[in-house]
Amino acid sequence: MAQAGYRDALGAHARRLAQSSIEDLNRRQPGRAQQLALRIGPLYANFARQSYDQPALDALWAYGQSLELPQAFRRLFDGAPVNLTEARPALHTALRSDLGRGPVAAAARAQVLAAEQRLAAIVAELEASGITDIVSIGIGGSDLGPRLVCDALKPLQGARFAVHFVSNIDGMAIERVLAGLDPARTAGILISKSFTTQETLFNGAILQRWLGDAGRLYAVSADVQRPQQQFGIAAERVLPMWDWVGGRYSLWSAVGLPIALALGMDAWRQLHEGAALVDAHVLQAPLQQNLPFLHGLTEIWNRNACGHASHAVMCYDARLALLPAYLQQLVMESLGKQVGVDGRPVCGDTVPVWWGGAGTDVQHSFFQALHQGTQMICGEFIGCVRGDDPHPLSHQALLANLLAQTQSLANGQPSADLQRNYPGGRPTTTVLLDALTPYSLGALIAMYEHSVYVQSLAWGINAFDQFGVELGKQVASALLPAVRDRSVTVDDPVTAELLAQLHR
Ligand code: F6P
């Protein structure tokens, strides 16, 4: 059957199920709650509150089978040029596991291990230096991953270094960070795969001036010359990354230097081991027991069969508050495409809007729309079985809220008073970590990376390029002279009027 045929079959199932209730699916099929749950070590995910029944799921698996997912993952791990539009591999898996076969993966792995040794040496050097604060400058993939991991795993007490992140080009962002710091006890890291990113170069220059001549500046880049040329950073203070690592897949590389500094090399290794566990799983687990496969195909079900255009991630652990922002880049920069790898327009919709926040805060902001809005918003609820704070009653209440929300969103509660009617039928996936550790967080992030790849295969798009972000950057550079100098004119009439307002 052609791909369109599988999609049509899924659509027919979704129409058949349109009026059925998720609660009924679970009540009519004893054991469904267990059958639709998968575990990889500390990471558990339950899909029983999705709207598919067994025949729909069979059709979804048939579709998954047709995508030849195991072969596609093998190509990914082995370093085939899966980033087809840029003719290069996407070997982020080689940053944390040794599962690739063949010369390309082996060469990448050797580079990774050598860079890791240099990274560990820089961590040791800084530990011995009297430095207390690190300012990490980068944006997008050169910021969101390290920022998430450092924030999620920050110890309550006894932090090794205080790591501060600056990404935005808004000068107030860096001013706010530097205001509380002492240049004599602060080191800077400039992280940029390309080392051409405007935000990072601007902020890097500000930081360098603030640090002064004796300042300690390090860099991470795929272009190891530029940090030296543009900032005079000595080669031994520049860590490499490579064009075969996408920015949003790069936290496992030296881009994660802030992680190693903030949490130490042991935590760094455990993070990698957690990801490696999922790497092994995605390669080895049979189709229907493969968690990233089911996660990715469930996204396809919701987007293409059911037509849901919005996907909210709710983290019922305040330490994961930055996860939605991280996933926004991972998922939407990877999958926000309308042209397939064959150069033709894709058939049907691709990525929904990914967004979210931390429970329970979000219950008091946008949950009204989740429960009773006209738009169906799919949800992903993430919690930790074990809390690490000294307030077990609070943790129990947090988890009760997570359970309550997924149950209420799915099952609803009928009322003759329509203002008070809860329609239910809102699909959600519940993800539970045994506890929030470097290992479990590594596993969680890798699971999302692999789910994204599954979705890209279903949509026939390249998950590893991002041409869509380039136009805005080019236009911003072209407009900068007109913002700086009122005598510079521009062609677009609306931009011209807005510039006139800026120059009033
Ligand atoms: O603008 C998008 C982007 O290219 C991301 O893909 C990337 O993670 C980010 O900018 C930062 O890029 P760089 O690491 O080259 O500074």
How distant, in Å, are the alpha carbons of 3, 248, 338, 370 from that of 344?
Answer: 15, 25, 9, 35
Q: Which ligand 1 atom is nearest residue 139's CA?
A: 11
Average pLDDT for residues 83-96, to the nearest whole number?
Answer: 97
Cα of 76 vs centre of ligand 1, distance in Å, is: 21
pLDDT in tens, 318-351: 999 999 999 999 999 999 999 999 999 999 999 9
pLDDT in tens, 342-362: 999 999 999 999 999 999 999
Evaluate whether 126 touches 260 at the Cβ level (below 8 Å): no
Q: Which ligand 1 atom is nearest residue 138's CA?
A: 16
Could you tell me if 109 and 61 lie in one domain? no
Could you tell me if 264 and 298 lie in one domain? no
Could you tell me if 432 and 474 lie in one domain? no
Cα of 86 vs centre of ligand 1, distance in Å, is: 15
Taking the complete model, does pTM exceed 0.85, yes or no?
yes
Q: Which of 137, 143, 190, 193 to mutate to test the pocket of ligand 1 (most atoms within 8 A of CB)?
A: 193
Report how far residue 60's alpha carbon sits from residue 7's, in angstroms, rounded to the nearest whole number.
9
Domain assignment of residue 77, yes or no: no
Cα of 156 vs centre of ligand 1, distance in Å, is: 31
Domain assignment of residue 280, yes or no: no
Report how far residue 360's alpha carbon sits from residue 456's, in angstroms, rounded to the nearest whole number.
32
CATH number, domain with residue 158: 3.40.50.10490
Could you tell me if 402 and 451 lie in one domain? yes
Domain boundary among 234, 269, 304: 269
Domain assignment of residue 71, yes or no: no
Q: What pairing do the DSSP bridges indicate for beta strands 310-316 and 377-386?
A: parallel
* Residues above pLDDT 90, as percent of the chain: 97
Could you tell me if 365 and 424 lie in one domain? yes
Mention every residue, 6+ apart, whose C-beta is less than 8 A from residue 349: 303, 304, 307, 309
CB burial class (10 A; 0-12, 13-18, 19+) of residue 390?
Answer: exposed
Evaluate whether 197 touches 227 at the Cβ level (below 8 Å): no
> Whose CA is closest to atom 1 on ligand 1?
469
Does residue 221 have its Cβ closer than 6 Å to ligand 1?
A: no
Provide the pLDDT for residue 88. 97
Cα of 200 vs centre of ligand 1, distance in Å, is: 10
Question: Is the pLDDT assigned to residue 186 strictly greater than 90?
Answer: yes
Domain boundary among 269, 299, 328: 269
Average pLDDT for residues 207-211, to the nearest whole number?
Answer: 98
Does residue 334 have its Cβ closer than 6 Å to ligand 1?
A: no
Catalytic residue list: 333, 364, 473
Domain assignment of residue 407, yes or no: yes
Question: Is the pLDDT assigned to residue 2 strictly greater than 80?
Answer: no
Provide the pLDDT for residue 427. 97
Does residue 466 have its Cβ closer than 6 Å to ligand 1?
A: yes
Nearest residue to 406 via CA among 426, 386, 387, 383: 426
Q: Which of 469, 473, 475 to mutate to test the pocket of ligand 1 (most atoms within 8 A of CB)?
A: 469
Could you tell me if 26 and 143 lie in one domain? no
Evaluate whether 356 touches 289 at the Cβ level (below 8 Å): no
Q: Please give the DSSP secondary-structure letter assigned to residue 345.
A: B
Could you tell me if 104 and 225 lie in one domain? yes
Report how far residue 63's alpha carbon sits from residue 91's, in angstroms, rounded to the nearest whole number.
26
State phi, psi for 64 to the nearest 5 degrees.
-55, -40
Domain assignment of residue 81, yes or no: no
Tally of structural domains, the chain: 3
The b-or-e profile of 45-83 (16+ CB within 10 A means b, else e) is bbbbbbbbbeebbebbeebbeebebbebbeebbbbbebb
Evaluate whether 108 touches 151 at the Cβ level (below 8 Å): no
Domain assignment of residue 384, yes or no: yes
Provide the pLDDT for residue 229. 97
> What is the pLDDT of the chain when averaged over all its residues?
97
pLDDT in tens, 27-46: 999 999 999 999 999 999 99
Does residue 469 have its Cβ closer than 6 Å to ligand 1?
A: yes
Provide the pLDDT for residue 478. 96
Average pLDDT for residues 181-192, to the nearest whole number?
Answer: 98
94: left (phi over 0), alpha (psi -120 to 50) or beta: alpha
Could you tell me if 475 and 460 lie in one domain? no
Q: How far is CA 480 from the centre of its chain?
A: 31
Domain assignment of residue 72, yes or no: no
Report how far residue 499's alpha carbon sits from residue 486's, in angstroms, rounded to the nearest whole number.
8
Average pLDDT for residues 84-103, to the nearest whole number?
Answer: 97
Cα of 70 vs centre of ligand 1, distance in Å, is: 29
Does residue 139 have its Cβ closer than 6 Å to ligand 1?
A: yes
Provide the pLDDT for residue 214. 87
Could you tell me if 234 and 336 lie in one domain? no
Does residue 204 have its Cβ closer than 6 Å to ligand 1?
A: no
Does residue 194 have its Cβ closer than 6 Å to ligand 1?
A: yes
Could you tell me if 378 and 474 lie in one domain? no
Cα of 139 vs centre of ligand 1, distance in Å, is: 6
Could you tell me if 15 and 132 lie in one domain? no
Cα of 169 vs centre of ligand 1, distance in Å, is: 13
> Whose CA is closest to atom 9 on ligand 1?
140
Q: Which ligand 1 atom is nearest residue 333's CA?
A: 6
Q: What is the DSSP string of 217-248?
A: EEEEES-SSHHHHHH---GGGEEE--TTS-GG
Does residue 246 have its Cβ closer than 6 Å to ligand 1?
A: no
Question: Is the pLDDT assigned to residue 81 strictly greater than 90?
Answer: yes
Domain assignment of residue 276, yes or no: no
The b-or-e profile of 302-313 (16+ CB within 10 A means b, else e) is bbbbbebebbbb
Q: What is the span of the domain harbouring residue 350? A: 3-66+285-465
pLDDT in tens, 256-268: 999 999 999 999 9
pLDDT band at 3 (very low <50, low <70, confident <90, very high): confident
Domain boundary among 213, 240, 269: 269
Record the tokens describing residue 241, joined without a space: 């990354």
Does residue 250 have its Cβ closer than 6 Å to ligand 1?
A: no
Could you tell me if 358 and 321 lie in one domain? yes
Q: Which of 85, 92, 136, 142 to mutate to test the pocket of ligand 1 (most atoms within 8 A of CB)?
A: 142
Cα of 256 vs centre of ligand 1, distance in Å, is: 15
Provide the pLDDT for residue 158. 81
Evaluate whether 442 touches 436 at the Cβ level (below 8 Å): no
